[in-house]
Structure 1
Amino acid sequence: MRKLIYIIFLSAFISTHQLSAQRISGSSTLKIDDNLQERIFSISQLEFFEDSSNLLTFHQIIQPRFQDNFKIRPSFNKNKFDINHTYWVKLSIDKTPESSKKWLMEFYDQTMDLVEIYAPQDNGNYKKIVLGDAVPFGIRNFRHKNFEIIIENASEGISNYYVKIRSSQKADIRIAIRSLNRFIFYALNEYFVYGIFYGMIAIIGLYNLLVYAAVREIKYLYYSFYLVSVGIYAMCVDGIAFQYLWPNYPEWNQIANGVFNYSIVLWAIMFSIKFLNTKYRTPKLHYSLLAILGIKSLLFLIGLFFDQKLFEIKYYDIIPFFFIFTASIYIWYQGYKVARFFVFAYGVLFVGVVIKVLVNAAIIPHMTMVYYSLHIAFLLEMLLLTFALGDRIRILKDNRDRALKRTIKQIEVNYALKEKVNRELELKVQERTQELEQKNSLLEEYNHQLMEKDEEIKRINSLLDKDNWRLKSSIKASFQARLTNQLLSYDEFQRIFPDQSACLRHLEEFKWGNGFICRNCKYTKSSKGPKLFTRRCSRCGHIDSVTAGTIFHGVKFPLEKAFYIAYDIIANTEKQTLEQLSELLDIRKNTVWNFRKKTKQNIEALQLESPHWYDILMMEEEKEKSK
């Protein structure tokens, strides 16, 4: 902060002296006087001629008949400068040979592309001195960011200096006549202030780069890029970049301002989006910022490849910073405390940008403090944004500490509750243990009684088994007699073959009960097939089912009904008509007729390959007896 106060004080000091010098100078003729350290002439105080044809030469403009064209135009300012015209400036100096000081002429605006100074010599000729940011820096007599030449003061009389100026940007034509001592004092102090300014940018940028390396939050990297862009842009505006960064590449000066102006907007928007989290806190302003960045990028590309006039500071350059400022105020208003220093930072920068635009448009008169307003705004903004980043960390730390305290308090409460529950559980366990011991003794008593009852039940079950066997034998005998006499009804037949599985089990027993024989290769070993009631030949892999090779293979209706139709034919009952069987079995009459026909045609083959239905029932009875 002390450095900032010193910068403001020094800028005010320089501004005061420059303003006093401007008030002293009332015309473009200057008499060298040791009592005055410097005099500064603005374009409105100088005699000049605007050459719209760009064809006039120095030999033409120094002709006596042309001198009346040089006039002072008090209303002319930087905003009226036409980049398509050539300007010829005439400055008359009344020399004082007895002066004890050396004097020089200085041009402040470092963005002028070409400055040709025609200095008068003692022999009556003129010496041409070429300066400007379109020529290499090394050709200058003074290795200084501004343009300076020594004024010859060896003889008396008035000497006319002619200056030819061409610029692709609006030039602020301002000529200072000052002593060499004054120049050295002014230059050293100015470079000292620049050193502080750029040093702070470098330190803050390096600090944020190290923070990014530690925490890996992209916003710190964006902020570092933003600071680098601010630093280089300020160096371009001051002429420092041409002196130290690319002295042998003057063509860079034509686009450097636009490139780093765009870079400032790019990284300012990216940093603001991440810092304020605009995507979730204010989606409308978030997409507005992205749209502004897109438009700025388009203007940048047009300026880079087609029209470099767009690189000058315009009124619309305020818009990105206005939206960032608005978004920060809105988010702060919504309760996001982290944004408070951010609001102050971009508020200062917004004011600085507005002042710079007004100065560039010549709406505000030139003053040193006003000229360096953007530098001061950048400096204050960097400090406040650094405070904002630190404040964000502090707020997050406070939130974390409060959350940790709440967690610790909750853990203590949970521990106390756990202890209370454990004590209650111990009491409950003791009570339940006593109850369980009592109930266990009762259970042992009941178990003893159950064992006695079980013995009694086993004895009764053995008697029941005997009675049940006798009953089953009686029932089988009754069914056998009924089957022999061909008197089984459909309901009685269903008790023997209630479903398809029962039919398939009987077929499996009769077909493979005495061993498997592959119908394909006659091999006798097999394994289970992929489905129930199938076998796979262990040699050829042929899969055989229980119905394959029988009249029941491929039957499209329930197998137990097919069994009954076959039984009705084999038992030679056939007392039921097709209509009766169709209604009884709930099968279409054509289906019953087709299966009966098929059965009759193959009955002899079936008698050879399959047991008689009577034998089927007899085998079932034998199985029951064996069990």
Structure 2
Amino acid sequence: MDKFYRKIFVLLCAIASIFSFSAFAQSSNYTFQINDQLDERIYAIDRLTFYEDESNKLELDDILSSSISGKLKINSDFTKHQFSTENTYWVKVAIQKTPTSNKQWLLEFYDQTIDQITAYIPTEDGFKELKLGDQAPFNDRVFSHKNFQIPVANQTEGIDTYYFKIKSSQKADVRIAFRSYNRFIFYALNEYFLYGIFYGMILIISLYNGLIYLAIKEVKYLYYVFYLMSVGIYAACVDGIAFQYLWPDHPGWNQPASGLFSYLIVIFALLFSTHFLNLKRRFPSMHRSFQVILLVKTMLFAAGIAFFPKLLEIQIYDIVPFFLILFSSIYVWVKGYSVARLFVIAYAILFLGVALKVMVHTAIIPHSTVLYYSLHIAFLMEMLLLTLALGDRVKILKENRDRALLRSLRQAEANAKLKDKVNRELEQRVNERTQELDKKNQLLLEYNQQILAKDEEIKRMNSMLDKDIWKLKSQIKENLQARITNKRMSYADFQKIFPDSTSCLRYLEQVKWENGFTCKACEHKKSSKSSKIFHRRCSRCGHIESATAGTIFHGIRLPIEKAFYLSYTVISEHDKLTLDELSKLLDLRVNAISSFRVKVKLQLEMKGIHHPEWEDIVLERSHELN
């Protein structure tokens, strides 16, 4: 028990000695005193002697002059939020040397984003100038480290005064650490070890999700890989790791690269969230809001690259996309999408980390180590949770699929039972129906026998009818022939037989091809119907022949029914009509009637027919051709 109290007493004494030493150092004419018992001391700008140069024209000689040197004072109320990017800051650090110290010492600036730090290191001849900052090539640094270090000489006694000229385009966290090499090496090794774990996890998780994308081709995994890579490179830009390892000879890339990858983080976070949460279907209004944010963020990035570089820095409005992602995930989760449960936790942590980082960067809240690395911690936890969320999504979808499969199996079993029941009922009905059909088939056979008997009787009656029809047709033909050969018909009687051109052509077709068709071109005996009525086409050569071809009526200009009657008047024994009477009767010109009658008579005389019959006139040329 006594040992415990002694340890407590020693600890309290050590703490008291540290505070008393710090108070002594602040009240004396030096900032730090080399003491092997204190491996590290860290002062922010509110505990340092500095002067704000609003003219940006002062040089070291001006600072050393009596008119300005007195203005370098400690301002305990000064914060990072008051840091002006338009002014230059001169910081004075006085170090009480202790040559008997067994350690080597250095000064270190933590903020890797400071653009320009000009260190004026005291020497025997005055001051040596050393250019530092993220606008200077990385290889110009004394130590190959992401922070800015200045070695401290300790060979002689006395006080060395170091001056630092600081200029930055963004609010700088001017914080100087005075530490031994041992402490620096221990700190740097542990810090880089943790960075290796952080970036290694990003790389491994990116490769893992990239392989998953190649396997299942879901675009959300590809967006997640791009998101992780953007997070990794942006964090490397903030930490100074990217400048050290990726573009050490191009300091001008630091600010654009930081702006580019902070922009890509927002873009791929929104795209990944949209697909993971399926916002297009589950939250359409927020899906449209995401599209608007993508457009606005792209416009701000383009304006930052082209005109306003300050827009590339992290701003307070950068927390808006992550807030909307968090709100969307909570909304979708509350609406029953259980896949989003880990997603909500992941983005709640990330939103908190981004909010803290933005407030620290804009000096809304004071700096601390935990707050400085809040974004790294948030990214790391969010990355792990999102990876688990993707796995959880697969698990939930698999469970849903299994439940659906189980429901399908149960439904299939129910369907099988129902099918068996239906089949049994169908078989029973089929048997009943079969028996009923057998009875009806037997009845149909009986009816069929009766129908066959009736059919025989009908055939006999049809035979008798065919005979009667044949006799009737013969009588009609004989009557028609008798009427036509009757040479004493009047025009009215003749019109009853041949009332129009169709009846005349039909009569010619019947008489001409009554005994079969013979092609006048190739003498082929077979023909087919032509596209024109009262024409026939030879099946061999394709010659088309009309019903009037080879008759006295072929090519005439008179109506054929009137030409028929004029032909009939040649053989008619009825009252002979004069040409004028025929002209009035048929409504034809006298010359046309006379010419056609002469043509008929001339053909009959050429054939030597002195007592012609009707068919001699109708088919007299066809007889000649045949």
The 1:493/1:355 distance shift into structure 2, 3 A limit, reads farther
Counterpart in the other structure of 1:506: 509
Contact 1:226 1:268 in 2 (8 A): yes
State the distance in 2 between where 1:340 and 1:79 align: 37
State the distance in 2 between where 1:271 and 1:415 align: 44
The 1:400/1:552 distance shift into structure 2, 3 A limit, reads farther
Counterpart in the other structure of 1:65: 67
Counterpart in the other structure of 1:337: 338
Q: Larger deviation: 308-317 or 81-90?
A: 81-90
Contact 2:119 2:163 in 1 (8 A): yes
Letter in 1 for 2:118: E
Counterpart in the other structure of 2:369: 368
SS in 2 for 1:358: helix
Using the TM superposition, give the Cα deviation of residue 282 of structure 1 relative to its aligned residue in structure 2, in angstroms.
Answer: 2.3
The 1:547/1:32 distance shift into structure 2, 3 A limit, reads farther
Q: Larger deviation: 304-313 or 527-536?
A: 527-536
Using the TM superposition, give the Cα deviation of residue 67 of structure 1 relative to its aligned residue in structure 2, in angstroms.
Answer: 0.2
State the distance in 1 between where 2:21 and 2:227 align: 37
Using the TM superposition, give the Cα deviation of residue 86 of structure 1 relative to its aligned residue in structure 2, in angstroms.
Answer: 2.5
State the distance in 2 between where 1:289 and 1:525 align: 87
Superposed counterparts of 1:74-223, under 5 Å:
74-121=76-123, 123-223=124-224
State the distance in 1 between where 2:301 and 2:463 align: 106
Contact 1:523 1:539 in 2 (8 A): no
The 1:446/1:126 distance shift into structure 2, 3 A limit, reads same
Using the TM superposition, give the Cα deviation of residue 246 of structure 1 relative to its aligned residue in structure 2, in angstroms.
Answer: 2.1
Letter in 2 for 1:266: I
Contact 1:482 1:488 in 2 (8 A): no
Q: Larger deviation: 208-217 or 467-476?
A: 467-476
State the distance in 1 between where 2:321 and 2:616 align: 99
State the distance in 1 between where 2:339 and 2:594 align: 98
State the distance in 1 between where 2:556 and 2:177 align: 116
SS in 2 for 1:181: helix
Superposed counterparts of 1:256-335, under 5 Å:
256-335=257-336
Using the TM superposition, give the Cα deviation of residue 265 of structure 1 relative to its aligned residue in structure 2, in angstroms.
Answer: 1.2
State the distance in 1 between where 2:344 and 2:418 align: 47
Counterpart in the other structure of 2:407: 406
Q: Larger deviation: 74-83 or 216-225?
A: 74-83
Is 1:515 aligned with 2:530?
no
Provide the TM-score with structure 1 as the length reference.
0.79
Contact 2:494 2:565 in 1 (8 A): no
Counterpart in the other structure of 2:581: none
Letter in 2 for 1:56: L
State the distance in 2 between where 1:365 and 1:308 align: 25
Superposed counterparts of 1:347-366, under 5 Å:
347-366=348-367
State the distance in 2 between where 1:359 and 1:601 align: 127
Letter in 2 for 1:301: A
SS in 2 for 1:326: helix
For each residue in 1:521-561, what CA deviation from the matched residue of structure 2 results, as whole angstroms up to 9, or x when unmatched? Answer: x9989987984556779999887777999999999xxxxxx
Contact 1:22 1:40 in 2 (8 A): no
State the distance in 2 between where 1:22 and 1:253 align: 39
Counterpart in the other structure of 1:558: none
Using the TM superposition, give the Cα deviation of residue 416 of structure 1 relative to its aligned residue in structure 2, in angstroms.
Answer: 1.8
State the aligned residue count: 571
Using the TM superposition, give the Cα deviation of residue 107 of structure 1 relative to its aligned residue in structure 2, in angstroms.
Answer: 0.1
The 1:477/1:348 distance shift into structure 2, 3 A limit, reads same
State the distance in 1 between where 2:562 and 2:22 align: 132
SS in 1 for 2:70: helix
Counterpart in the other structure of 1:46: 48
For each residue in 1:543-582, what CA deviation from the matched residue of structure 2 results, as whole angstroms up to 9, or x when unmatched? Answer: 7777999999999xxxxxx876776777779xxxxxxxxx
The 1:566/1:98 distance shift into structure 2, 3 A limit, reads farther
SS in 2 for 1:165: strand
Is 1:390 aligned with 2:391?
yes
The 1:441/1:202 distance shift into structure 2, 3 A limit, reads same
Using the TM superposition, give the Cα deviation of residue 487 of structure 1 relative to its aligned residue in structure 2, in angstroms.
Answer: 4.8
Contact 2:508 2:548 in 1 (8 A): no
Counterpart in the other structure of 2:425: 424
Contact 2:39 2:179 in 1 (8 A): yes
Counterpart in the other structure of 1:56: 58
SS in 2 for 1:41: strand
Using the TM superposition, give the Cα deviation of residue 334 of structure 1 relative to its aligned residue in structure 2, in angstroms.
Answer: 2.6
SS in 1 for 2:379: helix
Letter in 1 for 2:157: E
Counterpart in the other structure of 1:11: none
Contact 1:339 1:388 in 2 (8 A): yes
Using the TM superposition, give the Cα deviation of residue 375 of structure 1 relative to its aligned residue in structure 2, in angstroms.
Answer: 0.9
Using the TM superposition, give the Cα deviation of residue 496 of structure 1 relative to its aligned residue in structure 2, in angstroms.
Answer: 11
Name stretches of at least 5 consecutive residues in structure 1 with no aligned partner: 1-15, 556-561, 574-592, 620-627
Using the TM superposition, give the Cα deviation of residue 277 of structure 1 relative to its aligned residue in structure 2, in angstroms.
Answer: 2.0
Letter in 2 for 1:506: E
Letter in 2 for 1:110: Q
The 1:434/1:250 distance shift into structure 2, 3 A limit, reads same
SS in 2 for 1:168: coil
Using the TM superposition, give the Cα deviation of residue 157 of structure 1 relative to its aligned residue in structure 2, in angstroms.
Answer: 2.5
Contact 2:567 2:600 in 1 (8 A): no
For each residue in 1:273-293, what CA deviation from the matched residue of structure 2 results, as whole angstroms up to 9, or x when unmatched? Answer: 221222222222212212211
State the distance in 1 between where 2:73 and 2:173 align: 18
Using the TM superposition, give the Cα deviation of residue 22 of structure 1 relative to its aligned residue in structure 2, in angstroms.
Answer: 12
The 1:23/1:63 distance shift into structure 2, 3 A limit, reads closer
State the distance in 2 between where 1:274 and 1:331 align: 12
State the distance in 2 between where 1:131 and 1:430 align: 102
Letter in 1 for 2:217: R
For each residue in 1:390-437, what CA deviation from the matched residue of structure 2 results, as whole angstroms up to 9, or x when unmatched? Answer: 111111111111111121112212222222222233333333333333
Contact 1:22 1:39 in 2 (8 A): no
Contact 1:480 1:618 in 2 (8 A): no
Contact 1:526 1:535 in 2 (8 A): no
Is 1:246 aligned with 2:217?
no
State the distance in 2 between where 1:32 and 1:488 align: 153
The 1:548/1:364 distance shift into structure 2, 3 A limit, reads farther
State the distance in 1 between where 2:550 and 2:347 align: 95
Larger radius of gyration: 2
SS in 1 for 2:249: coil
Q: Larger deviation: 411-420 or 546-555?
A: 546-555
SS in 2 for 1:144: coil
Superposed counterparts of 1:461-476, under 5 Å:
461-476=462-477
Counterpart in the other structure of 1:228: 229
Letter in 2 for 1:323: L
For each residue in 1:488-537, what CA deviation from the matched residue of structure 2 results, as whole angstroms up to 9, or x when unmatched? Answer: 69898689968x9x95993996699643457xxx9989987984556779
Name stretches of at least 5 consecutive residues in structure 2 with no aligned partner: 1-14, 573-585, 604-611, 620-626
The 1:73/1:511 distance shift into structure 2, 3 A limit, reads farther
For each residue in 1:31-72, what CA deviation from the matched residue of structure 2 results, as whole angstroms up to 9, or x when unmatched? Answer: 333333322221222222233333322233222332023233
The 1:435/1:225 distance shift into structure 2, 3 A limit, reads same
Q: Larger deviation: 308-317 or 543-552?
A: 543-552
Using the TM superposition, give the Cα deviation of residue 130 of structure 1 relative to its aligned residue in structure 2, in angstroms.
Answer: 1.9
The 1:464/1:225 distance shift into structure 2, 3 A limit, reads same
For each residue in 1:467-501, what CA deviation from the matched residue of structure 2 results, as whole angstroms up to 9, or x when unmatched? Answer: 22333334444555566535569898689968x9x
Letter in 2 for 1:66: I
State the distance in 2 between where 1:427 and 1:450 align: 34
Contact 1:480 1:617 in 2 (8 A): no
Counterpart in the other structure of 2:6: none
Please give the root-mean-square deviation of Cα atoms over the aligned residues, in Å.
Answer: 4.3
Provide the TM-score with structure 2 as the length reference.
0.79
Contact 2:105 2:151 in 1 (8 A): yes
